[in-house]
Amino acid sequence: MVYGKLRFRRDYIHKALEPLEYQLSRDARSATTMVLVIVALILGFMVLLWSLVEFDEDTAEMFLGASVLGLFFAGGAIFSAVGKHGRKSKKLVFLRELLEELRPELHPRKMVRVRFDLRHYDHKDPIWTGTSTHGNPKAKYSDKWLQVRAVLADRSQVEIVRQAGLKTKKGSLVKEKRRLTLTITPPHDSREIFEKGKKTLGTELNNSLHAYFHDRPEAFKVASRKRAGALKIKAMQLDAPFLAQEVTSLLRAVYGHFYA
């Protein structure tokens, strides 16, 4: 199960993630075994053919070329499997670290709700396809892989969404836009405080982004939503991943602004 839903209280974070961590570990072992079997079959076939067939100089060169080509494709399969598992692992690490970072701020009795999808972005159809001027296939994917909904100790409601926009060329990833959306809905008795501080929040956060992000986002926006006085913060990175610590630092900065 590398996609689905989770519900748990703050004291059960590790227990909630255990099945997910086990599944990823199992998938890694299965992928490694499959790759090793493929490589063993290719090498075994080469050795058997070399021992049974008498080669002249030209045939030997052809056999050597075919062998190198077979090993090249096997190497490509290994590289692809390692890359896909690596993306899954990074997503899980972010989720685990985010929940651990949030844990002290969470309401002890309210449920945390998580929707996750750790699958590789190409498990579903692209949102756009085309070709380059040289006829090479191109595609764009949207990967909304995480949504965390939680209630904080002051009964504020927080929603954290992670999404990626990806562009591929000839099947290889050439560009990735990493997006973070943070929505904060204050409790009823704090809405007046939030309303008074909204106007200056965007300017204050933009002037201090270096304090919250190890790499300044290419795009950053703060907007207020009329529904329940909520705030929505959006950030986008091209050259660096978002870290769990950055999300909680930003969240604490928002509360520091309103309750200073």
Q: Which pair of tokens denotes residue 176?
A: 């990735």
Q: Is 222 helix (H, G, I), strand (E, B) or coil?
A: strand
Strand partners, 223: 232
Check whether 61 has a pLDDT greater than 80: no
CA–CA dist 163, 179 (Å, integer) = 5
Length of the chain: 260
In terms of domains, do 125 and 53 share one? no
**Predicted pLDDT of residue 70:** 67
Q: Which pair of tokens denotes residue 83?
A: 């890359």
**Global pTM?**
0.85
Residue 251's Cβ-side half-sphere holds a number of Cα atoms within 13 Å equal to 28
Structural domain that includes position 80: 11-106
Last residue of a domain, one of 71, 106, 141: 106
Residue 47 pLDDT grade (very low, low, confident, very high; cuts 50, 70, 90): confident
As for how many domains the chain has, the answer is 2
Measured CA to CA in angstroms, residue 165 lies from 69, 157, 214 at distances of 33, 26, 21
In terms of domains, do 178 and 62 share one? no
96 Cβ neighbours under 8 A, 6+ residues apart: 13, 17, 21
Q: Is 155 helix (H, G, I), strand (E, B) or coil?
A: coil
Residue 139 pLDDT grade (very low, low, confident, very high; cuts 50, 70, 90): very high
Q: Are the CB atoms for 101 and 244 separated by under 8 Å?
A: yes
Please give the residue that has the higher pLDDT: either 258 or 49. Answer: 258
Last residue of a domain, one of 50, 76, 106: 106
**Predicted pLDDT of residue 104:** 94
**Predicted pLDDT of residue 74:** 64
pLDDT tens by residue, 13-27: 999 999 999 988 888
State what percent of residues in the chain have pLDDT above 90: 53
Residue 129 pLDDT grade (very low, low, confident, very high; cuts 50, 70, 90): very high
Last residue of a domain, one of 106, 135, 166: 106
In a domain, 6, yes or no: no
Least confident span in 61-70, 136-145, 240-249: 61-70
In terms of domains, do 156 and 44 share one? no
DSSP result, 57-117: HHHHHHHHHHHHHHHHHHHHHHHHHHHHHHHHHHHHHHHHHHHHHHGGGB-SSSPEEEEEE
